[in-house]
Structure 1
């Protein structure tokens, strides 16, 4: 049994798994069956910060006024349109994510994905007031050919994240003590 649910609104927001995981395949199918959307990214497009901005904006249909900075990514991830989410949620999937581990921006990229997903998966705003929309399931899956859970966990460890090493996955979510 896994400790992540790609079709639900619970943590972790970013999941690192071995490529070809049957559990991930089943959960993506479940998300699609509920009306959610699976969006795929090419890891080669995420190797630079500008490339990451372009890939996210193109694939997730960020608005034309997207500011191409990390704060704007968080804002856009929190406010994806129904055409992108199906009104239910998304899973962003990156295959062959291995080379991303070596990029300078990788830990920040993971934190930003967690920040945007944390906000999207919540039915309240940052002040705790109810939003005028329901929570939307938003998760990101990075698939690795050479899956090294301890190496991945060590690379993304930072004070604002809770990193969990489970059976066949690594999960990342915002640390509530730092963010809430």
Structure 2
């Protein structure tokens, strides 16, 4: 099943990893601007740790001085943004040159936070899952643009984020939220696979690489090479987890 993200629609995927040369990117951002939406560009090379993530977002999106420089505050400021020129316009935030974020230890949390902010902006639901009166919905999506790294390489790390589910489609990595705490989102079923991607851990630990690859192919619908990339990433995580015990 193919899932095509849309920056002009209030639906998931909330976060997309794709190549900076993806023709879909040019088409969707042009359509968004044509509809009076905003496209903001941040430099992923500046985001070396959580503190620099907060500084970059605060500076480029002109957060108010009360911004708390933590993950919860980032969610709040993104879905209740009052930056220059913003009047409930649809918004796409592009994190360019994002390749080096693959080595960060906060990527899963970062992705989950962005997805939570987008869920809030797009759906505006109250605690009962009903539309929130008096709050305008607007499309908000986040894109990680990669210059030299295949999006699939980010799959395992992104899927570690809280309540995150992932899908691979047309060479892109797509992210949504699936938990019951996020009504109106997506079910943890095809094409989505809820993280963390631990279902092949036993095979990976036992050195059964081909079996592990098959598990990822069955779950994610990925190619053999993509499955191998995910196995390698998961294997590195499991080795680190073991070293920490």
TM-score (norm 1): 0.91
Is the counterpart of residue 168 in structure 1 residue 165 in structure 2? no
2:128 and 2:21 map into 1 onto residues whose CA distance is 40
Q: Is the 8 A contact 1:17 1:147 kept in 2?
A: no
Aligned pairs for 1:132-147 within 5 A: 132-147=134-149
In structure 2, the residue matched to 1:88 is: 89
1:84 and 1:73 map into 2 onto residues whose CA distance is 19
Aligned pairs for 1:32-51 within 5 A: 32-51=33-52
Q: Is the 8 A contact 1:61 1:84 kept in 2?
A: no
State the Cα distance separating 1:45 from its structure 2 match: 1.6
Q: Is the 8 A contact 2:152 2:172 kept in 1?
A: no
CA RMSD of aligned residues (A): 1.8
Residue aligned with 1:40, SS: strand
More displaced stretch, 135-144 vs 125-134:
125-134
Shift in CA distance, 179/57, structure 1 to aligned 2, threshold 3 Å:
same
Aligned pairs for 1:21-170 within 5 A: 21-81=22-82, 83-129=84-130, 130-158=132-160, 160-170=163-173
Q: Is the 8 A contact 1:36 1:87 kept in 2?
A: no
State the Cα distance separating 1:73 from its structure 2 match: 0.5
Shift in CA distance, 9/47, structure 1 to aligned 2, threshold 3 Å:
same
Residue aligned with 1:143, SS: strand
1:150 and 1:44 map into 2 onto residues whose CA distance is 19
Shift in CA distance, 85/137, structure 1 to aligned 2, threshold 3 Å:
farther
Residue aligned with 1:165, SS: strand
TM-score (norm 2): 0.68
Deviations 1:48-77 (A, max 9, x none): 111100111111221110111100111111
In structure 2, the residue matched to 1:16 is: 17
2:4 and 2:121 map into 1 onto residues whose CA distance is 20
Gaps of 5+ in 1: none
Q: Relative to total residues, which structure has the larger strand share, 1 or 2?
A: 1
State the Cα distance separating 1:150 from its structure 2 match: 3.0
2:104 and 2:90 map into 1 onto residues whose CA distance is 28
1:50 and 1:62 map into 2 onto residues whose CA distance is 15
Aligned residues: 180
More displaced stretch, 120-129 vs 4-13:
120-129
Residue aligned with 1:71, SS: helix
